[in-house]
Amino acid sequence: MNQGNRPKQPSLSQLRAFAAVAEQLHFRDAAAAIGMSQPALSGAVSALEEALGVQLIERTTRKVLLSPAGERLAVRARAVLEAVGELMEEAEAVRAPFTGVLRLGVIPTVAPYLLPTVLRLVHDRYPDLDLQVHEEQTSSLLEGLAAGRLDLLLLAVPLGMPGVTELPLFEEDFVLVMERSHWLGGRADIPREALRELPLLLLDEGHCLRDQALDICREAGRTEGAPVTTTAAGLSTLVQLVAGGLGVTLLPRTAVTVETARNEALTTGYFADPAPARRVALGIRTGAARHEEFEEFAGALRGAMAKLPVRVATAGRT
């Protein structure tokens, strides 16, 4: 299109003036409402009519009326102004860290035990942050992060996923949970080799905790033929099965108090050093615009976890 023939684009000030007139149906009142002089307001509306090529206002000596075109376009003008307002608010949120929405994805074997610490931190330190929590398995969380559905993940690592940067938080030991009468109950020096023949209960397929437990068992020399019963979708059910005498299980240290305190039929045992452990970190998209904000959040979260039974990570190391 030739530059000289290109139609004029309406300005925001013209749309704002027209929207005010459409609402007030009075030039003086409209000018006062948006802090513009009456001549400037009238000129802005006339310029908008010229740019659009339609008459928007019917001017009489007594009152102002909207033309049929004006009725229709007033709705559009208001929508444009609202959208611009939302854009400015979003830009302000981007400029100001720890404001706006933060969509946090958490795996089920972390969520019940660490969310109280996370939520307390956000409430006390980042009151303007709109935290939205999504509990899903690791594969779903990674898909959500890649697609932009999630901003930040709280999960077990290492992930080994290209495009995902891990911000380490802590490392925690695994604890053996069993019936109170079990011969390993109460011990603090259980050798890993004890896992070779124990009737082990694990979570269903898809939980990273299951894969970690199986890795520990393989390292301990457990054979493929040793019994592993998979019957639980969550740790609470798993622990109840243990209390019922169906076997033993492995729990991350942060889950032990919550999951065993309610049942006197259970006891725990701790492994000899070096105890099997898992690492937990925040996962973010590599190169994320909010990288610095997430780094700061990870540091604050490490500090908040100082009282938990974990080994808090050093920033930048896993």
CATH of the domain at 158: 3.40.190.10
pLDDT band at 229 (very low <50, low <70, confident <90, very high): low
Instruction: Determine the pLDDT at residue 212.
Output: 81
Task: Identify which of 7-11, 88-92, 190-194, 210-214 has the greatest average pLDDT.
Answer: 190-194
Whether the predicted pLDDT of 297 surpasses 90: yes
Same-domain pairing of 71 and 37: yes
Backbone φ and ψ for 267, nearest 5 degrees, come out as -140, 170
Instruction: Determine the pLDDT at residue 287.
Output: 87
In a domain, 184, yes or no: yes
Alpha helices (H) along 1-106: 12-24, 27-34, 38-52, 68-95
Domain with 63, as residue range(s), is: 3-95
Same-domain pairing of 53 and 199: no
Number of domains in the chain: 3
Distance from C-alpha of 284 to C-alpha of 153, rounded to nearest angstrom: 7
Instruction: Determine the pLDDT at residue 47.
Output: 93
Given 95, 117, 147, which residue is the final one in a domain? 95
pLDDT band at 228 (very low <50, low <70, confident <90, very high): low
Distance from C-alpha of 260 to C-alpha of 252, rounded to nearest angstrom: 12
Same-domain pairing of 43 and 117: no
Same-domain pairing of 123 and 217: no
Whether the predicted pLDDT of 162 surpasses 60: yes
In a domain, 318, yes or no: no
Mean pLDDT throughout 233-241?
87
Mean pLDDT throughout 202-211?
77
Same-domain pairing of 152 and 114: yes
Given 95, 122, 155, which residue is the final one in a domain? 95
Distance from C-alpha of 277 to C-alpha of 124, rounded to nearest angstrom: 30
Computed over every residue of the chain, the mean pLDDT equals 87
Same-domain pairing of 305 and 157: yes
Between 183 and 197, the higher pLDDT residue: 183
Distance from C-alpha of 221 to C-alpha of 35, rounded to nearest angstrom: 79
Instruction: Determine the pLDDT at residue 208.
Output: 74
Same-domain pairing of 56 and 136: no
Residue 310's closest CA among 217, 220, 175, 122? 175
